[in-house]
């Protein structure tokens, strides 16, 4: 089990070079949408030459378990440049970026009315704790927390590949 | 909070010359996968500059030895002035990288990683007594396993890099 609070530890990606911020944004947002995540942009701060963006992507796995992926972008030193790529002139940016991938597995997530089914009274709260610590512990650890971590790593590898980083291909 | 017992600290390896960054990264990850370690990447940094790329990677894969003990190996890889070069090998042109690498290995044995034995002072006391008198043989055995895995990993990387040193 990675964390008894069901948090996935953060993984940080830092890159400095020439790339297309818009194309990166589109690639990552489409990746999340294609994988079935509900995608929310919780923060967008543009103060040239810095850009700071926070994303939250949710995916309901079962009626009890939900995956939440949190991505934080920090672009700084952004300068517009024109490069010749594949024989055509393209506008890109010479920038530094720090992308932090983290997440958590939420159990007993709120229903459409905003209520948590297992927090109606003290008995249910204790029953939920017992249920998660002794009955479905292995299911949570292996089926959900570990597999969600590798899911985030797959996204991380795809982003590295998009940026053209050398250290790609860690997940086989 | 889990108890972390350092086994190997700050063992450094340096190399300068030809190598393949992608192959090295894949080889390290494959080795850990074969040994049953779970992957954990803390940081991956890459800076592109006219003199070459600067790459900084930190990984910390772990392996649960039991429900009480976990082996953690931390590897920091720093590569300077990495450039792409083309060499001729066996009458074929091969693309490789040239630069310098520094690798630092640390490993430790983490016990009670789920924090079950620190919920009350009595549990903490029982854990300490158990570790010192009843579980000592197992802990020593686990320490040897962690040290052996770290040395094997170091040897694997050395032989991988030496392969490029001699096959020019």
Specify the pLDDT at position B114. Answer: 80
A 52-111 → B contacts, CB under 8 A: 96
Give the start-to-end residue ranges of the domains of chain A.
Answer: 7-163
Give the start-to-end residue ranges of the domains of chain B.
Answer: 3-166
Identify which of A16, A163, A170 has the shortest CB distance to residue B39.
A170
Is the pLDDT reported for residue A4 higher than 80? no
A114-118, A137-141, B5-9 — which one is most confidently predicted on average?
B5-9
Instruction: Decide: residue B117, CB within 10 A, 0-12 exposed, 13-18 middle, 19+ buried.
Output: buried
Which residue in chain A is spatially nearest to B42 when comparing CA positions?
A11
A 1-60 → B contacts, CB under 8 A: 1, 4, 9, 11-18
8 A C-beta contact, residue A17 and residue B47: yes
Using CA atoms, how far apart are residues A53 and B79, in angstroms rounded to an integer?
A: 29
Chains A and B form CB pairs within 8 A to the count of 75
> Can you tell me the ipTM of this complex?
0.84
What is the pLDDT tens value at each position of chain B, 168 positions in all? 678 899 999 999 999 999 999 999 999 999 999 999 999 999 999 999 888 999 999 999 999 998 889 999 999 999 999 999 988 877 888 889 999 999 999 999 998 888 778 778 888 888 888 888 888 888 899 999 999 999 999 999 999 988 777 655
8 A C-beta contact, residue A39 and residue A57: yes
Which residue in chain A is spatially nearest to B25 when comparing CA positions?
A167
Partner-chain contact A170 B41, CB within 8 Å:
yes
CA of B25, closest CA in chain A: separation in Å?
6
Residue pLDDT, tens place only, A144-163 = 988 999 999 999 999 999 99
Greatest alpha-carbon pair distance for chain A in Å reads 68
Closest C-alpha to A72, from A13, A32, A112: A13
Whether this model's pTM surpasses 0.90: no
The tokens describing A22, both together, are 């818009």
Please provide the average confidence, as pLDDT, over all residues in chain A: 88
> Measuring CA to CA, how many Å separate B161 from each of B20, B23, B77, B107, B164?
9, 10, 13, 21, 5
Is the pLDDT reported for residue A2 higher than 50? no
């Amino acid at each position: 089990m990675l964390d008894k609070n069901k948090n996935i530890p953060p993984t940080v990606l830092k890159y400095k070079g020439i790339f297309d911020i818009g194309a990166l944004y589109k690639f990552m947002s489409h990746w999340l949408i294609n994988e079935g995540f509900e995608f929310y942009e919780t923060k967008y701060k543009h103060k040239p030459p810095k850009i700071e963006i926070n994303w939250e992507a949710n995916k309901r796995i079962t009626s009890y378990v939900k995956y939440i992926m949190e991505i934080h972008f920090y672009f700084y030193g952004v300068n517009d440049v024109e490069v010749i790529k594949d024989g055509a002139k393209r506008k890109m940016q010479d920038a530094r970026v720090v992308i932090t991938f983290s997440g958590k597995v939420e159990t007993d997530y709120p229903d459409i009315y905003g209520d948590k089914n297992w927090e109606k009274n003290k008995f249910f709260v204790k029953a939920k704790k017992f249920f998660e610590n002794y009955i479905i512990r292995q299911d949570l650890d292996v089926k959900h927390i570990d597999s969600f971590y590798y899911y985030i790593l797959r996204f991380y590898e795809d982003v590295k590949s998009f940026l053209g980083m050398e250290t790609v291909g860690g997940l086989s | 909070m889990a108890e972390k017992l350092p086994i190997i600290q700050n063992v450094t390896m340096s190399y300068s010359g030809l190598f393949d960054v992608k192959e090295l990264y894949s080889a390290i990850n494959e080795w850990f996968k074969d040994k049953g370690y779970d992957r954990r990447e803390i940081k991956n940094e890459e800076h592109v500059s006219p003199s070459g790329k600067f790459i900084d990677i930190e990984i910390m894969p772990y392996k649960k030895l039991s429900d009480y003990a976990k082996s953690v190996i931390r590897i920091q890889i720093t590569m300077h002035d990495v450039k792409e070069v083309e060499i001729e090998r066996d009458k074929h042109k091969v693309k490789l990288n040239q630069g310098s690498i520094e690798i630092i290995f640390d490993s430790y044995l983490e016990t009670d990683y789920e924090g079950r034995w620190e919920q009350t002072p009595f549990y903490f006391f029982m854990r300490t007594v158990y570790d010192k008198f009843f579980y000592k043989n197992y802990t020593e055995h686990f320490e040897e396993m962690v040290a052996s895995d770290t040395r094997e990993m170091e040897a694997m990387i050395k032989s991988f890099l030496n392969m490029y040193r001699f096959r020019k």
